[in-house]
Amino acid sequence: MWETYVCEQTAGNRLDPLATPQRRWSNSLRVKGTVVMLHGYTASPQAYNNFATLLENSGYNVYSFLTVGHGRKFKDCNKQGAVCVGKGDPIEELPLSRNGYIQFVQRVNSIMKNELTVQGAQRMGPAVHIVGLSLGAALATFAMADAPGFYQRSILFAPFYGITKPDLDRQFQTFIETELPNALSLPASFLFDKGQEGLRRVVFAMTEKPSLVPASIQSKLNSENSWGEQCEVDRQKQQRSGYCSMQVKHLFGVSAMGYHAISNANKIQRTQVQFVVTERDGITRNGLIWNVARAIQASTVTACMFRLNTANCPTVNNTCGVPHSMLSPADNMGITPFGMYWERDLLQQSLDYFDGKLSQIGVTNWNGRREVCEIQSISNPNPQLVLL
């Protein structure tokens, strides 16, 4: 099944070579286990290269999957019939609803269960773990819910569980809060005082009923969204593999998948879940993590946060704190300061966590050090982990 999956991704010369799915076999005489890796939105398995190498060299097999619709070669947008945005991002295969992502995750679980059978427990090791970053963390959340008890430990880095109001400009907020509910004939109860929840419910409903969205609104959904010029610089100078632009409707599809992951988190059983978040993601987005943590009843849940240290920072950047895309050198080497000062400790603690040497990632004594992850209490969380 793995071989079939890889052949499908590489067929037709459509794949960016840097985005190729990876299966790395450990050369260790005693394999510790297998780690599944799910990357972030518009990224690729390249983002995990440093972490995957550390795991491989430390006794773990690594399966780094390419998410559905990702990793395609760039196109000439001026060519007749080309479907792309930005400077050539091929967007036509990106899911527009949760369904494409659900099918992808279910296939990942099927592949891994088959690999365990075909390769055997001796080669795969005594445990299967899972890692996700951003959208990949939402996908990993659903993977654990879809296969209760299959994964022993997980690390969810900077999860993206859905769009929040700060992600939208004022004009689009009006569209979400008034025009769209009216177009979909949603009852007033669909939007309630907790506006963040109402926002995600409306976005979810829209992706479930696209035929009901009028043409006047479709034009807004087709509008382009971009990660900014730095993404293009990273792609050209740092050989970043991934897209820099997409349409708003694709972001809504991601948000719908995040909503689905939150709704199914109560099905997670017998998997230890570790959240690693950054304060730079903001209170509303980090607050969604608390929703998931509260929903998980049958597993141990721990969390740590990279705090902002803004004493000497006129603007928030990598000098002040760890970014959302905390594992990818190609996303960070072009940003001040030119280096990932947090990476060494984070990767080593992640390895120790999978080895069972640590029960959770992080430290209790932060002391303003930007390179360490401060342990957060799930039962009495920092306000940055609570949805306000």
Q: Residue 73 in contact with residue 90, Cβ under 8 Å? A: yes
Greatest Cα pair distance, the chain, in angstroms, is: 62
A 10 A CB-CB count for 185 gives 9
Cα distance between residue 343 and residue 329, in whole Å? 9
User: Looking at the chain, which runs of residues are DSSP E strands?
Assistant: 22-24, 33-38, 60-65, 84-85, 89-90, 128-133, 153-157, 224-226, 245-247, 272-278, 301-306, 373-376
Inter-axis angle of helices 343-355 and 49-57, nearest 10: 40
Cα distance between residue 245 and residue 89, in whole Å? 6
Cα distance between residue 113 and residue 148, in whole Å? 12
Q: How far is CA 256 from CA 163, 206, 237, 259, 286, in A?
A: 9, 9, 33, 5, 17
| Fold annotation for 2-83+95-162+256-385 | Rossmann fold (3.40.50)
DSSP states along 96-160: SSHHHHHHHHHHHHHHHHHHHHHH-HHHH-S-EEEEEETHHHHHHHHHHHHSTTT-SEEEEES--
Cα distance between residue 350 and residue 356, in whole Å? 10
Q: pTM of this prediction?
A: 0.92
The DSSP output letter for 15 is: B
Q: Residue 59 in contact with residue 35, Cβ under 8 Å? A: no
pLDDT at 192: 43
Amino acid (1-letter code) at residue 104 = F
Residues 6+ apart with CB under 8 A from 195: 165, 177
Q: Residue 350 in contact with residue 280, Cβ under 8 Å? A: no
pLDDT at 194: 46
Per-residue pLDDT of the chain (388 residues; tens, 9 = 90+): 999 999 999 998 889 999 999 999 999 989 999 999 999 999 999 999 999 999 999 999 999 999 999 999 887 666 666 667 777 888 889 999 999 999 999 999 999 999 999 999 999 999 999 999 999 999 999 999 999 999 999 999 999 998 776 565 455 566 666 666 666 666 655 554 345 676 777 788 888 888 877 777 788 888 888 888 888 888 888 889 999 999 989 999 999 999 999 999 999 999 999 999 998 887 667 888 888 888 887 789 999 999 887 776 767 778 888 999 999 998 988 777 678 999 999 999 999 999 999 999 999 887 778 888 999 888 776 666 664 4
Residues 6+ apart with CB under 8 A from 359: 302, 353
Cα distance between residue 172 and residue 152, in whole Å? 41
A 10 A CB-CB count for 114 gives 12
Cross-strand pairs, 131? 37, 155
Inter-axis angle of helices 283-295 and 248-264, nearest 10: 30
Token digits of residue 65: 């999957």
